[in-house]
Amino acid sequence: HVQLVESGGGSVQAGGSLRLSCAFSGYTYSGNCMAWFRQAPGKEREGVATIYTGDGTTSYADSVKGRFTISLDRPKNTLYLQMNSLKPEDSTKYYCAVDPKVIMMGVWTNWNLYQYWGQGTQVTVS
């Protein structure tokens, strides 16, 4: 039984930083994408960042490139998203997602491919 639990969200001033964590259990697959998404009210879920567990390759949405960093600590079973230089437009709920079938970096932003999701953590930038 796969479980994902996000934490680390909160309120921060523009220009500040937050680190989101996604603790996962029951997920032992490798060679696939693990990702962070965000979704603002009334908008489609947006892929923020992904890491390919096979070789550690990462990819980012243009809107966060250079400011956010995704990383994976396998021994701790935790996925991270370090968010620096935060902007008010980054305010929304963030979700981690995994699926053993998402094995191609070219499709990582397709949120409907992911079977397993966390409950989300709210980020507010003022």
Structure confidence at residue 103 (pLDDT): 84
pLDDT tens-digit profile of 47-60?
A: 999 999 999 999 99
48 CB burial (10 A radius; 0-12, 13-18, 19+): buried
pLDDT tens-digit profile of 90-114?
A: 999 999 999 988 888 889 999 999 9
Structure tokens at 125: 């930038």
Local structure of residue 124 (DSSP, 8 states): E
Reduced to 3 states, what is the DSSP secondary structure of residue 14? coil
